[in-house]
């Protein structure tokens, strides 16, 4: 999975923020905010795991129905594409 | 409500707008300072950096949604300190890692022509930077700054006791093509018109910080210049006037203790008569730091704070500003000591992180690339907030360092009283300046 920008996750007391480490303004450095589950989705997607498999992982890990898990994955992936963290 | 300044970008990116929920019980955030002005009440959020105006005739309850969205009103259970910790963690994470050092406090000498009783360097060995060391310092700065613009603060002792070192260093930087600006802390005695011209031309000095301890008699007694010059007071004031007319910024620092407080009241009148209206003249009024038991303490901290606030109001009444504009970003570092881009260079080429140095605090020297990383890291170690800090509006503007010798003064009553008063002045000036710009 190719990323548009160099970035990293910053753990802010249980919330995660993806920040760009490139040369940009403060506001541009904050790419997206995630909770614990969102971070897991993001990391898996960036590691090349297909969305369907990520959904299955969520179903294994959490007490959540398939529709909710799918929506979460779609949302996070969409945010990552919009933030330039990932490319389609 | 009118937004004078929005939230700073990082805080805005992290927290966004707070969602307003009707029926929720909200309270004013602890990180808010209010100041009355001619047009209403200014609200400043010390963490978000937002400055709002609640116009005259409007009430807080009318503006509840706007205040909630801007984080001025928060739910009862909101944890301001948790939010601050998150913002600071993010600010540290996004700080660009620079391998370059671009800020330097350079002690050209620890010698001085004054003998101020309150000087923290009294009794320290007097070392003056040699010409060779100055050349080496110039080369060092050119090497470690990576071609970026350099900021130098000349310090001492009295730095103008060794102007040759400043010539050599600046000449080296100019020849190396390094862009630089500088400022100087000086007693002003040697800041003659000729030296001012040289300082601005060759050393790129843009500003001078000059301590004035009282009117003539108090000043002469305090400074006790080795020149034994009975005209020293008038000489320094005249030098300041020339410097201002030449376009230099001058900040007169008035150090207050119980012994000189009344005299400073008279001094402010004298300074106003001479300099009020002159571009670039500022006055900062600060309590004398406790050094070796020589300070005349006020009976209570509140008395100290009230005295300083009274003196500040007096100088403001003359239209004289304090140096320092409204800082809207919450702090993530304390001073130069806890950031990698700054170094203090001693007259002998040793390097430390804090100008209130002790020999054991040296981290290396300009001749060797190795540094005492343990000491560098020790300077960055932040101590936890005091319990009282959770209630203090100024907490986002405070970073407490374990090693800082002044940490015990933090969160004392006089610090927060004076700090809030200073912040209110900055808020008012920021509002007035913006108003003038809009009307221009």
DSSP string, A49-71: --HHHHHHHHHHHSS--HHHHHH
Same domain, B297 and B209: yes
Domain of A70, in residue numbers: 7-83
Same domain, B168 and B270: yes
Whether residues A10 and B93 touch (CB distance < 8 A) is answered with yes
| Cα dihedral across residues B284, B285, B286, B291: positive or negative | positive
Which positions of chain A have pLDDT values less than 50?
A: 1-2
Give the nearest partner residue to B13 out of A8, A10, A26, using CB atoms.
A26
pLDDT of residue B296: 59
Higher pLDDT, A27 or B105: B105
Same domain, B150 and B214: yes
Query: Band of the pLDDT at B128, cuts 50, 70, 90?
Result: very high
pLDDT of residue B198: 97
Check whether B412 has a pLDDT greater than 50: yes
| B252, B284, B317 - which closes a domain | B317
Tell me the C-alpha distance between A5 and B429, whole Å.
Answer: 40
Tell me the C-alpha distance between B83 and B78, whole Å.
Answer: 9
CB B286 within 8 Å of CB B256? yes
Check whether B123 has a pLDDT greater than 60: yes
How much is the average pLDDT of B208-234?
Answer: 94
How much is the average pLDDT of B247-269?
Answer: 94
Give a yes or no: residue B361 inside a domain.
no
Mean pLDDT of chain B: 91
Express as a percent the part of chain B with pLDDT over 70. Answer: 94
- Two tokens at B87? 């913002």
Higher pLDDT, B122 or B262: B262
pLDDT of residue A2: 44
Taking the Cβ of residue A19 and every Cβ of chain B, the question of whether any pair is shorter than 8 Å is answered with yes
Domain of B236, in residue numbers: 103-317
pLDDT of residue B357: 67
Same domain, B226 and B133: yes
How much is the average pLDDT of B282-310?
Answer: 78
Give a yes or no: residue A2 inside a domain.
no
Same domain, B216 and B252: yes
How much is the average pLDDT of B164-172?
Answer: 98
CA-to-CA separations, B56 to B10, B34, B230, in angstroms, rounded: 31, 14, 54
Whether residues B10 and A30 touch (CB distance < 8 A) is answered with yes
Same domain, B145 and B240: yes
- Two tokens at B352? 């430390």
Same domain, B55 and B192: no
Give the nearest partner residue to B94 out of A13, A15, A29, using CB atoms.
A29
Check whether B187 has a pLDDT greater than 90: yes
Residue B152, domain CATH? 3.20.20.70
Find all residues with CB under 8 Å of A16, minimum gap 6, and list them: A9, A10, A33, A34, A35, A36, A38, A39
Same domain, B12 and B119: no
Nearest chain B Cα to A33, which residue?
Answer: B14
CB B244 within 8 Å of CB B276? no
Taking the Cβ of residue B94 and every Cβ of chain A, the question of whether any pair is shorter than 8 Å is answered with yes
| B260, B282, B317 - which closes a domain | B317
Whether residues B89 and A12 touch (CB distance < 8 A) is answered with yes
pLDDT of residue B189: 97
Check whether B406 has a pLDDT greater than 80: no
pLDDT of residue A1: 45
Give a yes or no: residue B337 inside a domain.
no
pLDDT of residue B50: 97
Domain count, chain B: 2
pLDDT of residue B37: 95
pLDDT of residue A26: 60
Range of weakest confidence among A9-13, B224-228, B235-239 = A9-13
Taking the Cβ of residue A33 and every Cβ of chain B, the question of whether any pair is shorter than 8 Å is answered with yes
Check whether B172 has a pLDDT greater than 90: yes
Give a yes or no: residue B205 inside a domain.
yes
Same domain, B114 and B161: yes
Give a yes or no: residue B385 inside a domain.
no
pLDDT of residue B292: 46
Give a yes or no: residue B344 inside a domain.
no
How much is the average pLDDT of B362-380?
Answer: 93
Check whether B290 has a pLDDT greater than 90: no
Domain count, chain A: 1
Nearest chain B Cα to A26, which residue?
Answer: B10
Which residue's entry shows tokens 């005492």? Answer: B372
Range of weakest confidence among B55-59, B187-191, B410-414 = B410-414
pLDDT of residue B355: 80
Same domain, B40 and B89: yes
Same domain, B197 and B277: yes
Tell me the C-alpha distance between B180 and B40, whole Å.
Answer: 42
Angle between the B261-275 and B301-317 helix axes, to the nearest 10 degrees?
A: 20
Check whether B291 has a pLDDT greater than 80: no
| B280, B298, B317 - which closes a domain | B317
Range of weakest confidence among A8-12, B46-50, B228-232 = A8-12
Same domain, B31 and B111: no
Give a yes or no: residue A1 inside a domain.
no
Mutation target to probe the B interface, by most B beta carbons within 10 A, among A20, A23, A30, A83 is A30
Q: Which residues in chain A have their CB less than 8 angstroms from residue B86's CB?
A: 12-13, 15
């Amino acid at each position: 999975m190719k990323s548009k920008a160099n970035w990293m996750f910053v753990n802010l007391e249980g919330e995660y923020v993806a920040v760009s480490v490139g040369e940009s303004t403060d506001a541009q450095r904050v790419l997206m905010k995630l909770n614990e589950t969102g971070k897991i989705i993001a990391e898996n997607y960036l590691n090349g795991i297909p969305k369907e498999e990520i959904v299955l992982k969520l179903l294994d890990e959490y007490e959540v129905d398939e529709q909710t898990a799918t929506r979460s994955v779609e949302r996070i992936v969409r945010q990552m594409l919009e933030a330039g963290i990932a490319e389609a | 409500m009118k937004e004078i300044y929005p939230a700073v970008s990082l805080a805005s990116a992290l927290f966004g707008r707070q969602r307003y929920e009707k029926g929720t019980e909200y309270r004013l955030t602890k990180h808010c300072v209010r100041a009355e002005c001619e047009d209403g009440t200014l609200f400043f959020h010390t963490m978000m950096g937002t400055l709002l105006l609640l116009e005259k005739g409007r009430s807080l309850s009318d503006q509840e949604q706007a205040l909630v969205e801007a984080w001025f009103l928060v739910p009862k259970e909101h944890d301001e300190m948790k939010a601050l910790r998150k913002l600071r963690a993010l600010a540290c994470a996004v700080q660009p890692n620079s391998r370059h050092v671009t800020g330097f406090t350079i002690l050209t000498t620890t010698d001085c022509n004054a003998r101020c009783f309150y000087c923290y360097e009294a009794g320290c060995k007097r070392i003056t930077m040699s010409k060779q060391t100055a050349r080496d310092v110039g080369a060092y700065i050119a090497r470690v700054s990576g071609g970026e613009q350099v900021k130098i603060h000349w310090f001492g002792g009295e730095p103008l006791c060794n102007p040759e070192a400043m010539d050599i260093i600046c000449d080296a930087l100019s020849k190396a093509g390094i862009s630089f600006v500088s400022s100087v802390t000086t007693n002003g005695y040697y800041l003659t018109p000729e030296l001012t011209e040289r300082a601005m031309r060759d050393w790129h000095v843009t500003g001078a910080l000059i301590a004035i301890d009282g009117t003539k008699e108090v000043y002469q007694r305090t400074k006790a210049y080795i020149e034994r010059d009975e005209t020293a007071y008038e000489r320094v004031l005249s030098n300041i006037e020339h410097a201002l007319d030449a376009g230099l910024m001058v900040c007169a620092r008035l150090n207050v203790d119980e012994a000189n407080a009344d005299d400073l009241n008279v001094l402010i009148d004298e300074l106003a008569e001479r300099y009020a209206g002159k571009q670039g003249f500022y006055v900062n009024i600060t309590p004398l730091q406790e050094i070796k038991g020589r300070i005349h303490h006020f009976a209570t901290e509140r008395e100290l704070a009230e005295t300083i606030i009274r003196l500040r109001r007096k100088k403001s009444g003359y239209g004289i500003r304090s140096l320092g504009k409204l800082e809207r970003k919450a702090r993530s570092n304390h001073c130069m000591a806890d950031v990698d881009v700054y170094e203090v260079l001693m007259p002998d080429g040793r390097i430390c992180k804090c100008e209130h140095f002790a020999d054991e605090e040296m981290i290396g020297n300009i001749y060797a690339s190795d540094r005492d990383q343990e000491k560098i890291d020790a300077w960055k170690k932040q101590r936890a907030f005091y319990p009282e800090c959770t209630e203090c509006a100024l907490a986002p503007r405070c970073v407490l360092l374990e090693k800082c010798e002044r940490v015990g003064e933090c969160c004392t009553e006089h610090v927060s009283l004076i700090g809030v008063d200073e912040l209110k002045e900055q808020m008012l000036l920021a509002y007035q300046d913006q108003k003038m710009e809009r009307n221009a």
